[in-house]
Amino acid sequence: MALEGPERESGPESSSQTPSTLRLWSAFEFRDYRFLWLSGISSLFTMEMRLLATTVWLYQETGSGAQLGALGIIQLIVQFPAILYGGALADRLDRKRLIAFTQVSSLVLLTALALLSASDALRPWHIYGVTAVLSVTSILGSPARAALTSNVVPRTHLMHAVTSNVATFEIGAVVAPLAFTGIITAFGTTATFTVAAVTAVPSVLLPLMIRSQNISSDNGEGGSVLRRVWQGFQFVKAHPILPGLLIMDLGVNMVSFFRQVLPLIVDRLLRAGPGAVGALTAANSFGGVIGSLAVLFLARYRSKGMLVLWATFAYALLLVIFGLSASMLVAVPVIIALGVTDAIGMASRQTIVQLTTPDEVRGRAVSFHEVSAESANNLGTIYVGFMSQQIGPRSTLALGGLISMIVVVATWAFISGVRRFKYP
């Protein structure tokens, strides 16, 4: 496979435009993309509200970083097989129906959490149970959502579609924490779970309004789901770029993912309360918006592999600075910058996966990428939660940043496919 990227066309129609001449909003010219985008915003808002509400409630109830870290253990156990299975399903079933089906569970279980909270019957095991189930169902639909992007826009618009996804999802991730802060402060936990349940409704309905179809998944492969997963693994293993991206994702995030442990970091590092958790989460996502837009403006920068490496190294350096923060005045701009660099790396990685993978195996390729990312995030939640309990959040974040910088340098030195990838 050429490192310049395959020439295979994908999407609903071809286009005479080139990626560097498109406008920022070009992907929104396509009706199906607009529905997919709105569905993703709804899904993200629901997920962000759930994560914030459950982690803040759990920390207030238990006061334990280890209890927050346990969320990472649960997610790690259930998400790994779910992502692989979801990738195989995304290459076999109607992707839009699969997305809608998996979102129903969010609506039902968040409604249940709201009722438990209203009756003062909510317990930590409820949080763990809902986290386990929704980790499975949301992950089953995630590869389908990512793979469907290539079915609703032509190849020429793909980079803009992927980066628009990241940018607008980050906007949702700004709005959700701010909404969470206002709702939980004014109305409490029950109202927060209720709002999260209500916002899940569009994520169920909108995918069903998409007209585009993914290519039939059979393609002569046949076999069981496990066999199809194995075929996907063989494709990724032989790919000149994807293994390097997966290894780097795993090496960095497993020692640096702090978002689910943010209530502890805010309490012990910054001496602030739940409102600061929402504010910092929103600030991080605001940085993600800036970073995603920066990717669009960097469309003419051909060395996309090096862009990933530079962004990830900057993220690692900023993590050290975040660990040294002693006040909100310092922490807010640093966490915004963390969001910028994280979004640049994420949007570039996702685009590379989409550009270098044919449609019939795209769901599985995306799923292996997400296995790496989600497994690393869960390991990172465990690591940051446990280590913060042992040596404090300041030392934990600084150490994680130093390790991450070493991982990026090693990727650059030993995995040439990443640094050599260029597009267009």
Q: Retrieve residue 55's tokens.
A: 């982690």
Q: In angstroms, rounded to a whole number, what is the distance separating the alpha carbons of residues 52 and 47?
A: 9
For the chain, helix, strand, coil in percent to 5 are: 80, 0, 20
Higher pLDDT, 411 or 357: 411
Is residue 314 predicted with pLDDT exceeding 90?
yes
Q: In angstroms, rounded to a whole number, what is the distance separating the alpha carbons of residues 11 and 359?
A: 9
DSSP state of 9: -
Task: Give me the pLDDT at residue 336, please.
Answer: 95
Crossing angle of helices 242-253 and 225-238, rounded to 10°: 100
Task: Give me the pLDDT at residue 386, please.
Answer: 87
Higher pLDDT, 418 or 375: 418
The 10 Å CB-count burial string (b at 16+, else e) for 248-257 is: bbbbbbbbbb
CATH 2.70.170.10 fits 24-420, yes or no: no
Is residue 303 predicted with pLDDT exceeding 70?
yes
Q: Retrieve residue 315's tokens.
A: 């993220």
Give yes or no for a cis peptide into 424 (omega within 30° of 0): yes
**Res. 4 pLDDT band, cuts 50 70 90:** very low
Task: Give me the pLDDT at residue 255, please.
Answer: 93
Q: Retrieve residue 240's tokens.
A: 């000149």
CA 145 to chain centre: 12
Q: Is 11 left (phi over 0), alpha (psi -120 to 50) or beta?
A: left
Task: Find the DSSP H helices in 153-187.
Answer: 158-186
Q: In angstroms, rounded to a whole number, what is the distance separating the alpha carbons of residues 1 and 179?
A: 46
Q: Give me the chain's average pLDDT, please.
A: 82
Evaluate whether 6 touches 133 at the Cβ level (below 8 Å).
Answer: no
Task: Give me the pLDDT at residue 129, please.
Answer: 92
Q: In angstroms, rounded to a whole number, what is the distance separating the alpha carbons of residues 266 and 381?
A: 15
Enclosing H/E stretch for 240? none
Enclosing H/E stretch for 227? helix 225-238
Alpha-carbon Rg for the chain, nearest whole angstrom, is 20
Q: In angstroms, rounded to a whole number, what is the distance separating the alpha carbons of residues 266 and 275?
A: 10
Q: What's the angle, vertex CA 83, arms to CA 81 and CA 84, rounded to 5?
A: 65
Q: What is the pTM of this model?
A: 0.66
Q: In angstroms, rounded to a whole number, what is the distance separating the alpha carbons of residues 295 and 303?
A: 12
Task: Give me the pLDDT at residue 12, please.
Answer: 56
Can you list the pairs that 56-62 forms with residues at least 24 positions away whose Cβ atoms lie under 8 Å?
Answer: 56/184, 56/263, 56/274, 56/277, 57/122, 57/127, 57/189, 58/124, 58/127, 59/263, 59/264, 59/267, 60/274, 61/124, 62/124
CA 223 to chain centre: 30
pLDDT in tens, 234-250: 888 888 888 888 889 88
pLDDT in tens, 58-111: 888 888 777 887 887 887 787 667 766 767 777 777 888 888 888 898 899 999
Neighbours of 394 (CB within 10 A): 17
Is residue 217 predicted with pLDDT exceeding 60?
no
* Domain range annotation of the chain: 24-420
Q: What's the angle, vertex CA 391, arms to CA 390 and CA 397, rounded to 5?
A: 120
Task: Give me the pLDDT at residue 6, please.
Answer: 39
Which of these, 186, 183, 205, 185, lies nearest to 196 by C-alpha position?
183
The 10 Å CB-count burial string (b at 16+, else e) for 347-367 is: bbbbbbbbbbbebbbbbbbbb
DSSP state of 324: T
